[in-house]
Amino acid sequence: MSPETPQSADLKTLWPGAATRFLALRLLPGDDLRAALQAAFAAEREHAGFVVACVGSLSKVALRPAGKDSAMLLEVTLEIVSLSGTFSKDGPHLHISVSDSRGQMLGGHLLEGSIVRTTAEVILGLAPVHFRRAPDPRTGYLELFFD
């Protein structure tokens, strides 16, 4: 195993749940969902975060679907069905699912340019550990590691 390849101990971490802080946010119409969440996390002292919950609506969504290199941009009323992901000082890794007025679903990597329509209520968990992104030779991508 090369020095860059993580050991199994690098693939998990534990921390006491009582040590996790929670940050509640209410984003307003016109806010960029990804940019606002990234800025809120950057203003906190923790080096690890995760999405606990998110509900709201978007007037525009920018996402990158699975297996695609380019962004998809839709400008239509959408409900946020789910948002999940992690935050580190290297940036967020966020996935979103949205539905349109017919209930059809679409999802992928959340990109900047996803604009809040009426509100987005988001709860972030802030953990007393260090998340970081580093190249993983097995996947070829920047992956989540713990310090």
pLDDT in tens, 1-53: 444 555 555 677 787 878 899 999 999 999 999 999 999 999 999 999 999 99
How many whole angstroms from its chain centre is CA 111? Answer: 9
Q: Is residue 91 part of a domain?
A: yes
The three-state secondary structure class of 36 is helix
- Count of H-run helices and E-run strands, the chain: 1, 9
**Cβ(110)–Cβ(96) under 8 Å?**
yes
Q: How much of the chain, in percent, has pLDDT values that exceed 70?
A: 93
User: 97 is in which domain, residue-wise?
Assistant: 30-146
CATH number of the domain within which 54 lies: 3.30.1330.80
8 Å CB contact between 83 and 122: yes
d(CA 42, CA 73): 26
Q: What is the model's pLDDT at position 15?
A: 79
* pLDDT tens profile 127-139: 999 999 999 999 9
Does the residue 140 lie in any domain?
yes
